[in-house]
Structures are given as structure tokens and as C-alpha cells.
């Protein structure tokens, strides 16, 4: 009985342990300075900042940093390269937004999560990144796929 009580009490504490993202303006500034976005091109959507990039769309809110990147190609080699570049973009923008771009082990676990989503029947995967949840979802579309990576 003590074990069950301890387990239940520890589960109720989990939401309290979640890390908050930095303020939206701070994250967008970091992305602008690093060259991933342009300070003059952010669009305001209620509580979210959005920017269309050459590679896809970047969203920043108080609850998440998200990239939606279309991936398509005419052959398997190009698809592998495009998917890899999408993954690198997702990882770099997420880490830059939370000022962790200098970290050396986080990118590998995040890229592994992206690869796991590709292998998963649900095309979804997640991993913990420095107290944040990094989620990847791959959506097949007519001309390829959309890679959606979100740091919460």
C-alpha cells in the first residue's frame, strides 16, 4: 500500500517539474541573431509568433517552439538528404530558442527521436531535452512528407 501511495504522489508532482520555455521575445531574438529567422518578418497569431522560411514554417509561443518542414524529392538519395536537413533545422532552431545550441549531446538524442518517428508505425516519437519534451511527427502527403518538430 505504501508503494502505491508513493507512486501516486510522485505522479502528481510531474507537472510541477516541467520546465517553462523562455519568454517568446527572447526566443525569437535568439533565432533572429542566429540567422534562422528575420526580426522584421514575424507574424503575430494570437499567442504565437509565426515566420515562413525557405525551409518551412517556424512557430514560437510561450508553450512551444515548432518547425513544420515539407520534405520531397524525386529519388531516395535526395529524400534522405532532405529529411536529414529537415531534422538538423528542427534540432538547431529548438536548441537556439532555449539557448542550448552549444550543448553537444542533445542534438544526437533529438536526431534519434526524428529517426524513430520515421520508423514508428504512428510516425511519432518524443524524447526529453534538458527538461523539455521534444516531439516529432511525420505526416505523409502526396508529394512527400511534412516533418513537424515541437519543443515543449
Cβ proximity of 117 and 95 under 8 Å? no
112, part of any domain: yes
57, part of any domain: yes
2, part of any domain: no
The string of pLDDT tens digits covering residues 79-127 is 888 888 898 899 999 999 999 888 877 888 888 888 888 888 999 999 9
45, part of any domain: yes
6, part of any domain: no
Picking from 115, 74, 98, the residue whose alpha carbon sits closest to that of residue 26 is: 98
147, part of any domain: yes
Domain span at residue 121 reads 19-151
Question: Per the confidence metrics, is the pTM higher than 0.85?
Answer: no
Number of domains in the chain: 1
Q: What is the pLDDT of residue 77?
A: 83
73, part of any domain: yes
The string of pLDDT tens digits covering residues 64-86 is 999 999 998 778 888 888 888 89
Q: What is the pLDDT of residue 17?
A: 56
1, part of any domain: no
Amino acid at each position: 500500500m505504501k508503494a502505491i501511495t508513493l507512486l501516486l504522489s510522485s505522479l502528481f508532482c510531474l507537472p510541477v517539474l516541467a520546465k517553462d520555455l523562455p519568454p517568446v521575445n527572447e526566443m525569437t531574438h535568439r533565432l533572429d541573431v542566429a540567422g534562422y529567422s528575420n526580426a522584421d518578418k514575424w507574424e503575430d497569431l494570437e499567442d504565437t509568433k509565426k515566420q515562413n522560411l525557405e525551409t518551412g514554417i517556424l512557430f514560437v509561443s510561450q508553450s512551444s517552439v515548432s518547425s513544420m518542414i515539407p520534405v520531397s524529392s524525386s529519388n531516395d538519395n535526395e529524400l534522405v538528404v532532405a529529411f536529414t536537413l529537415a531534422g538538423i533545422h528542427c534540432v538547431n532552431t529548438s536548441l537556439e530558442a532555449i539557448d542550448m545550441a552549444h550543448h553537444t549531446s542533445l542534438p544526437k538524442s533529438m536526431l534519434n527521436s526524428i529517426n524513430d518517428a520515421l520508423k514508428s508505425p504512428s510516425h511519432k516519437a518524443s524524447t526529453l531535452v534538458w527538461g523539455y519534451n521534444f516531439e516529432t511527427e511525420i505526416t505523409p502527403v502526396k508529394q512527400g512528407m511534412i516533418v513537424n518538430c515541437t519543443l515543449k
